[in-house]
Structure 1
Amino acid sequence: MQTRYPIVALVGRPNVGKSSLFNRFSKHRKAIVDPTPGVTRDRHYEQVTIEERTFILVDTGGIEGDGREMMAGLIREQTMQAMREADVILFLLDGKEGVLPEDFEVADYLRRTEKPVHFLVNKVDSPELEQRLIPPFYELGVDTLWPVSAAHGYGVKPFFEALLETLPVFPESEDIPPDTISLACLGRPNVGKSSLINRLLGEERMVVSDVPGTTRDSVDTLLTVGKQPYLLIDTAGIRRKGKVQEKLEKFSVLQALGALERCDVVLILIDAGEGITEQDTKVLGYAFERGRACMILVNKWDLLHGDAKRQKQLMEEIARATSFVEYAPVLKISALTGAGVKQLLPTVAKIYKQYCGSFSTGKLNRILQDALEGHNPTMHQGRRLKFYYTTQISTKPPTFIIFTNYPKGVHFSYLRYLLNQFRAGLKLDSIPIKIILKERQRKEYG
């Protein structure tokens, strides 16, 4: 199983500076960046590492309502979701606007949770402003207020120290065998996640309902087939956009992010009757960015029985929409009838074996040499690009570091070429792989 990182949620009214604070925190993410090309989308979460502690920061910005009453309801629901699903909550207030009625209501809700809550007053960028703007916020009944400036960084470092002290540590469960393959079932509401898990278990161990959102919390079930244990993680659906409550969509991915942190293989369920949607590709985007192995399960395939034209059209739509994870196996199933489900776990076992693959440096360098001989890289600013050697630095997914003279000079298309050469040479056709380019340190003489 993967290590689960704590989830820290930023909540608060619109325009208090959540996105600005999110961007400032995100500057502290890991320095090594994987340049693997993938899906482009708006980021509302980031893996952040501060003083060797890692957490997932989620920005809940963008919640807007029509009128004060609507706004209060949305902020209340946002806060309730944070209390249920985040591990630490950051409630951001606007120092220049002062305390508003909604702030009292949210503070009252947050006092009821047993989770760590930090109250930050933004737009305070000097000791003088701190003395003038902070006192009214003590009316919220809060013992500790953190004056910060998302724009200028004032007060951020002292707050970081307090935040790190409240981040929980998640030890691995002793009840789960060490060779367990962890599977997360993700998808929109009512796509059949719980039905699929019940089919795999062979018994009605979960409540299955046609009402979207029945699964409120992540539920884990241990299943052993032969000698191989699997941990099945069922989650609530990631909501669609459009309805008033769906203004919380950015925030509703919290639970999915938590499941992604704990799983090895992601099972993305798509409704064959509705086809693939933007939300489905967004879930795949999250999985891709977390480096998780994926399977695309086209559920309710029986609905298209006898309609060859629609079957072909749907598979073409899925192929186009998921081109950035073209390695992910696609399986047509029916959780209701059981059709195709027997192929699921054997395919997962194949994926997992590749996902944990470890390769000798000698083999990797032979593949790199063959790739260079087959196709030389272009010149960079009049200088020839040189690739010195490669080695594997991690698994899950297999990640390779290549030392070169000009990492920034490697064109996007040549990196993709190298990825494909490694994928073919190592027979890793069903999982993501990563290549990190690093400049080789030049020797100094003197």
Structure 2
Amino acid sequence: MHKKSTTEEIDSIDDQSLRVRWTGLPVVALAGRPNVGKSTLFNRLLHKRKAIVDPMPGVTRDPIESEWRLEGAEAPVLLVDTGGLKLERNELEDRVADKSWDYIRRADLVLFIVDAVNITPEDEEFSALLRRYADKVVLVVNKADSPERDTRAWTHASWGYKAMAFVSAEHGRNIGELEELILARLDWSKASAVDEEHGDIRLAIMGKPNVGKSTLLNRLLGEEKSIVNDMPGTTRDVVEGRFSWKGKAFTVLDTAGMRRKSKVTESVEYYSVNRAIKTLDRADVVILMIDASEGLSEQDKKIVKLATDKGRGVIFALNKWDTIPKIKNSFEAARDKLQFFFGQMAYAPVLPLSAKDGEGVDKLMSTALSMFGQLTRRVETSRLNKAARDWVEATPPPVGARARFKFRYATQVSVNPIKFAFFVTRPDAVSESYVSFLRNKIRSELGFTLVPLELDLRASRKRFEDLERG
């Protein structure tokens, strides 16, 4: 077994493996009234909790898409969990229904989900409405937890759908049979795979409820992917979409608004907020949306801390800037106030934005692109060590017995997040102020002006020149 030398370890790069992006995948849409188990089945098929499940009807509002690896298939399936269809609807529920029917029309296969033991007039009505798509509908009778319930479920055969399946999404009963039924009815002839060297740049749109997150998502995608409504908390699941800007591929994630814990009253909202926080693990850049007319909140500060702790780039977007009176230096004043509020984050860009009108979107995207470039930037080890020696020689640490140490060598540990390690004789002797000095030097002179970076001190008696000779 080959053992890496120290210099090989220093120069090793944690490159991302090639990712595959699919186009032309067959679309399978899950449809039905609220609370029949659509999201439970969606999660069961994916083998993960991607959609929020709660006994409260109407939890899913925006359609949730995910690539699904169906056993025996030559390529993935695009699986879509749609919002619940209702006969009596308010304005928001009308928007939910419109998007659900749009996916039903476009889908290659529709899983019409009903409850095995609770048939309602809504089920009867939607069965009639779906009959025009009968050739691509599979009637899925859910909550058929036992063979005894199958007998009752056969009453649904009177609706005239040729393809039927009796399942229990919660317990996994007959899921294999349903998958075989789906596999036999799909066509992958239009599917094609594209290798991407680094995959999409992933943007997470975060902020308080009703600051314009979904409006920005729809603006970037050029379609109403996420429902926009004046009622705070409209978005519950994480809604995502892909788009291209100046030849670069992006995935954008619209998250639920985050409020103070004392105001999070529904369990659905609790899970929505937790899902939003976990989105940080998938993101490269966080766009923190702030209502320019309302200013900052403690929740904004918490979002930023969570993001920077994970090494994510953060862009402060002062949305609804078009509503701010045009007073000289008003933006500069707002920017200075924000940077004062966040203390050590003077490096993070602050931008005016009107997601509704599109003003400032190009600047936002160019900044996100530059930020991603810095997050994936790697400095040559020899250049880093020369620069570090120059900094220490030009600005030596404070003199004193307790503060005495010698710099040995430095290495960049990782990209995205950016991490460096400086090896010194006595790490405990290096003051926090001197660490800040070195961090600022890395940021300003090595091209990391927009992103957070971590600097770790480690003990070593060896010099970089000795490691190179070794």
TM-score (norm 1): 0.57
Equivalent residue number for residue 306 of structure 1: 326
User: Does the 8 Å contact 2:404/2:429 carry over to 1?
Assistant: no
Amino acid at match of 2:280: L
* 1:184 correspondence with 2:204: yes
The whole-number CA distance in structure 2 between the counterparts of 1:418 and 1:368 is 8
Q: Specify the SS of the correspondent of 2:354.
A: coil
| Aligned partner of 1:221 among 233, 238, 241 | 241
| Residues 249, 417 of structure 1: alpha-carbon distance in 2 compared, 3 angstrom cutoff | farther
Deviation string, structure 1 residues 145-187 (Cα, Å, up to 9, x no partner): xxxxxxxxxxxxxxxxxxxxxxxxxxxxx88944310100010
Equivalent residue number for residue 339 of structure 1: 359
Deviates more, 1:197-206 or 1:372-381: 372-381
Equivalent residue number for residue 233 of structure 1: 253
Equivalent residue number for residue 36 of structure 2: none
| Aligned partner of 2:346 among 303, 312, 326 | 326
Equivalent residue number for residue 421 of structure 1: 441
Amino acid at match of 1:319: Q
The whole-number CA distance in structure 2 between the counterparts of 1:192 and 1:176 is 34
User: Does the 8 Å contact 1:397/1:431 carry over to 2?
Assistant: no
Aligned residues: 281
Structure 2 counterparts to residues 29-178 of structure 1, below 5 A: 177=196, 178=198
Equivalent residue number for residue 375 of structure 2: 355
Post-superposition offset of 1:206: 2.1
Amino acid at match of 1:370: D
Post-superposition offset of 1:210: 1.3
| Residues 176, 188 of structure 1: alpha-carbon distance in 2 compared, 3 angstrom cutoff | farther
The whole-number CA distance in structure 2 between the counterparts of 1:279 and 1:368 is 37
Post-superposition offset of 1:382: 3.8
User: Does the 8 Å contact 1:270/1:276 carry over to 2?
Assistant: yes
Deviation string, structure 1 residues 12-36 (Cα, Å, up to 9, x no partner): xxxxxxxxxxxxxxxxxxxxxxxxx
Amino acid at match of 1:179: G
User: Does the 8 Å contact 1:387/1:403 carry over to 2?
Assistant: yes
Amino acid at match of 2:256: A
TM-score (norm 2): 0.54
Q: Structure 2: give runs of 5+ residues left out of the alignment.
A: 1-14, 18-54, 60-192, 464-470
The whole-number CA distance in structure 1 between the counterparts of 2:355 and 2:377 is 30
The whole-number CA distance in structure 1 between the counterparts of 2:434 and 2:299 is 31
Q: Structure 1: give runs of 5+ residues left out of the alignment.
A: 4-75, 81-173
Amino acid at match of 2:350: V
Q: Specify the SS of the correspondent of 1:318.
A: helix
Post-superposition offset of 1:258: 1.3
Equivalent residue number for residue 212 of structure 1: 232
Amino acid at match of 1:295: I
Amino acid at match of 1:190: N
Equivalent residue number for residue 288 of structure 1: 308
The whole-number CA distance in structure 1 between the counterparts of 2:403 and 2:448 is 33
| Residues 253, 437 of structure 1: alpha-carbon distance in 2 compared, 3 angstrom cutoff | farther
Q: Specify the SS of the correspondent of 2:444.
A: helix
Q: Specify the SS of the correspondent of 1:233.
A: strand
Q: Specify the SS of the correspondent of 1:185.
A: strand
Post-superposition offset of 1:208: 1.0
User: Does the 8 Å contact 2:209/2:232 carry over to 1?
Assistant: yes
Post-superposition offset of 1:227: 2.4
Amino acid at match of 2:422: I
The whole-number CA distance in structure 2 between the counterparts of 1:236 and 1:383 is 48
The whole-number CA distance in structure 2 between the counterparts of 1:382 and 1:341 is 51
Q: Specify the SS of the correspondent of 2:316.
A: strand
